[in-house]
Structure 1
Amino acid sequence: MSTSTVQHTQEESFGPDVKRHDVPVLDSHLHTVEHGTGDPVVFLHGNPTSSYLWRNIFRDLTGRGRLLAPDLIGYGRSGKPDIDYTLDNQQRYVDAWFDALDLRNVTLVLQDYGAAFGLNWASRHPDRVKAVAFFEPVIRSVDSAALPAEFIATRARLRQVGVGERFVLEENRFMTELFPWFFLKPLGADALKEYQSAFPAPDSRKAVLAGPRNLPVDGEPATSVVFLELAMEWLGSSPTPKLLLTFNPGFLMTDALVRWSRETIRNLEIVEAGEGIHFVQEERPEAIARLVGDWLDRVWAVEGL
């Protein structure tokens, strides 16, 4: 398949008649895929992916509102400013994107750091949130004992100054070695190429390195724990309908975090969605689209939304 054919296939992968545009935010822009009209349904990805991760689910949910999938700052086709990619800094761009589009009555569909940013935004804008679905989220600190030892060792190396820069920025081994490890079956060559193409040079990979460094494990880094705690009160008190999809074996959503979610989060429905590790939009897109779509139909009807 030629490069031009691959590019055309990727452009069409969200379905017909999608719009692509760059939304100016702060000193940069967030590239956004959009389709439809009505109340917005916002899809937020995490590290090291892009809106492309949502393509199959986005397509299957067409017709349920104004679907929007941005590339977060530092990822995909969005800007890659020379900033410190702390969670607080990245949140500033997410907030600016929501405000630039004046999004209200929002349904959030979240994964990985997309959940951290989406829930943080929701907790500070409860009057603009309609419903929230999330899976494999960065939602609170994870116990290292519940994660693969190989990942814990790699994360420790990436957090070392100099070592992480060489592994991620200079040698691009996060995208060529670590990212492909997170799939039950090998990711297709075209999809892997699409994700890797977003980070062509060392200075374009700063957000990728920040991902494992910001991930809270055993309470560290404390700054990430504090950031995630900002959404805890809202999760526990808000009547907003919430859906958590779990996967087997999963990765971040450990058994302990599932129990915590069941005991802590108000108006939460938990549904098992099949086999998958972490980037489950690639592994179980049909199941996710069906479960999220059915849930939205039910909660919107019940809540009169």
Structure 2
Amino acid sequence: MTSYHVRRINGVRIAYAAAGDGFPVLLLHGWPQTAYAWRKVIPLLAQRFRVYAPDLRGFGASSKPDTGYDKKTVATDLAGLMDALGHRRFAVVGHDMGGQVAYPLAAMHPDRVEAMAFIESGLPGFGQERAMDVGSGGSWHFGFNMAGDISEALVRDREALFIGYMMRRDKVGIMGADRVTEADIEVYAAAMRQPGAARAMFSYYRTLFADAVDNRAFGSRKLTMPVLAVSADHGYVGGAERTMAQVADKVEEARIADCGHYVPEEQPEVLANLLSDFLARAGVETAI
């Protein structure tokens, strides 16, 4: 059974879901989602692992401070959360923006992160700049989300329209209309309507250039723990694999069929099986 909790970490409130028993696995959601994105995966992984799915700072029921949205700071929140929960070692799984947080978490704490999965994500400093360049076929939303106050003003009272469009767009959108329902979209829209939430969520994009500097510094030493790079056949095909090949020594690759960008919601059973098998090969269940 999934339970919900709050801890105060690094001066901010971090809300998280928890379920299961076994080796701890930290699930990091993407943008514009919350821990709700893992609702279908949590009970599957919880059959074998102790699973935690936090709302990252700025999202959902977690605090929305004015600063601290560079991914190194967000990763520090999560290391503190795992400390508070009594877990010295753990595995981390990051989807989309969550992957951009998982990487510095693993890079800063290689003695703690036993294994990492990087799902439908990229890294500033290691090729994501191409996805940010509209002139080269990249997505417009990077510039829009970085624009400042005008972003919040244009989205205000249109949160469901904006999030629904992002998740259902033709390029890298969901493949099946029933996989993310209107009710699901409303969960994310309601989270974005909270005071300070839109500003906080857009700040994840406004810190990407600072993240690039941090990532290049982290990348001077490759990750040595096992890494699983996952992409979807209708998502950023091959993007996760190309990114992890630059920053990690031991990379496995996986491609999920009949799936767009939002893998945890579109193919939860396939993803859960993939993660369980990967973590077993990584030997996390025997880690001290």
Whether 1:283 aligns to 2:266 is: yes
Q: Which residue of 1 aligns with 2:241?
A: 258
Q: Is the 8 A contact 1:168 1:209 kept in 2?
A: no
Report the AA paired with residue 189 of structure 1: E
Aligned equivalents of 1:84, 1:168: Cα separation in 2: 22
Please, which runs of 5 or more residues in structure 2 have no aligned partner? none
* TM-fit CA distance, 1:135: 0.9
Aligned equivalents of 1:37, 1:288: Cα separation in 2: 19
Whether 1:195 aligns to 2:188 is: yes
Q: Is the 8 A contact 1:50 1:75 kept in 2?
A: yes
* TM-fit CA distance, 1:257: 5.7
User: What's the C-alpha RMSD, in Å, of the aligned pairs?
Assistant: 2.8
Q: Is the 8 A contact 1:35 1:66 kept in 2?
A: yes
Q: 2:147 aligns with which of 146, 160, 165?
A: 160
Q: Which range moved further: 262-271 or 284-293?
A: 262-271
Aligned equivalents of 1:174, 1:201: Cα separation in 2: 15
Q: Which residue of 2 aligns with 1:241?
A: 226
* TM-fit CA distance, 1:155: 2.9
Q: Which residue of 2 aligns with 1:300?
A: 283
**Per-residue deviation, residues 19-76 of structure 1 (Å, max 9, x unmatched):** 2110111332111111223321111112221111111111111232211111111111
Task: Report how many residues are paired.
Answer: 278
> Secondary structure of the residue that 1:205 maps to in structure 2?
helix
Whether 1:142 aligns to 2:135 is: no
> Secondary structure of the residue that 2:77 maps to in structure 1?
helix
- Seen in structure 2, the aligned counterparts of structure 1 residues 69 and 157 have a Cα distance that, compared at 3 Å, is closer
Q: Is the 8 A contact 1:133 1:243 kept in 2?
A: yes
* TM-fit CA distance, 1:245: 1.5
Q: How does 1:1-305 map to 2 (within 5 A)?
A: 17-83=1-67, 85-139=69-123, 140-144=126-130, 152-169=139-156, 171-172=158-159, 174-181=162-169, 182-186=173-177, 187-201=180-194, 203-215=196-208, 221=209, 223-234=210-221, 236-238=222-224, 240-251=225-236, 255=238, 258-259=241-242, 261-262=244-245, 265-300=248-283, 304-305=286-287
Q: Which residue of 2 aligns with 1:7?
A: none
> Secondary structure of the residue that 2:41 maps to in structure 1?
helix
Larger RCO: Structure 1 or Structure 2 (Cα < 8 Å, ≥ 6 residues apart)?
Answer: 2
Aligned equivalents of 2:264, 2:84: Cα separation in 1: 27
User: In terms of Rg, which structure is larger?
Assistant: 1
Give the structure-2-normalised TM-score. 0.83
Q: Is the 8 A contact 1:39 1:65 kept in 2?
A: yes
% same residue: 26
**Per-residue deviation, residues 173-231 of structure 1 (Å, max 9, x unmatched):** 5435334433223321221122112122452212221234344xxxxx2x121122244
Please, which runs of 5 or more residues in structure 1 have no aligned partner? 1-16, 216-220
